[in-house]
Amino acid sequence: MWIAELSRQTEVPVATIKYYLREGLLPAGESVGATRARYDESHVRRLRLIRALVESGGLSLARVRGVLAAVDEESQQMHAVLGAAHGALLPESIEASPESLERVGELLDDHGWLVDDQSPDRALLANALDALDRVGHPLDSTLLDSYLMAAEQVGDADVAHLPAGDRAETVEATVVITALGGPVLLALRRLAQQNASARRYGAVPTHPCP
């Protein structure tokens, strides 16, 4: 396909595609003349992945480049590639107290979770626990365990539903689910709280009139 068709299929402007080509984020097409090139489905997939990283993940092009490098490194196992995608979605610097980091480590060990010791998500969770401590509402172990078990079900479902296609397709799905799935989980949690509250306190749900 020509670049105009590539643009139509991916909804990425031609000028942006050319910029990605110049920056080396998108591989060059097959040259058929001094100024023309043909593109194929691999370019469609790469552009969709870049869009997912930039638009859904909110990443800078520098961080996008890092994820794409992991995708393109064939020696990398898929687990490491997905880790790179997750890492790219996190802040570059996360502060957490040693006490909360230790608590997170013990929590994961107690439940037998296979999480790298250097995973930045450990610090992300510890940072969240620190925030609760600072406002006088520390998360007790019983509730934290409940959260972990619920998260385990979500994580298992997410990974089970990843496509069995190529690396770029799998990473794209991971980034989109991680970046855009968060608000879905938050909304469901609030709805579940409303349901639990109504059942506990005997509230009668109201419905708007048609």
Q: Do residues 49 and 85 share a domain?
A: no
Q: Do residues 61 and 111 share a domain?
A: yes
Question: How many C-alpha atoms does 103 have within 13 Å on its Cβ side?
Answer: 19
Task: Give domain status of residue 149, yes or no.
Answer: yes
Domain count, the chain: 2
Task: Give domain status of residue 84, yes or no.
Answer: yes
Q: Say if residue 208's pLDDT is above 90.
A: no
Task: Give domain status of residue 202, yes or no.
Answer: no
Q: Do residues 34 and 104 share a domain?
A: no
Task: Give domain status of residue 156, yes or no.
Answer: yes
Q: Do residues 87 and 43 share a domain?
A: no
Question: How many C-alpha atoms does 14 have within 13 Å on its Cβ side?
Answer: 5
Q: Do residues 121 and 102 share a domain?
A: yes
Distance CA 46, CA 85 (A): 14
Task: Give domain status of residue 100, yes or no.
Answer: yes
Q: Do residues 71 and 149 share a domain?
A: yes
Task: Give domain status of residue 90, yes or no.
Answer: yes
Residue 9 burial by Cβ neighbours in a 10 Å radius (0-12, 13-18, 19+): middle
pTM score: 0.75
> Which comes out higher in pLDDT, residue 34 or 42?
42
State the residue range of the domain holding 129: 57-195
Q: Do residues 111 and 160 share a domain?
A: yes
Q: What is the pLDDT of residue 88?
A: 74
pLDDT digits (tens, 9 = 90+) for 90-146: 777 899 999 999 999 999 999 999 999 989 999 999 999 999 999 999 999 999 999
Q: Do residues 36 and 86 share a domain?
A: no
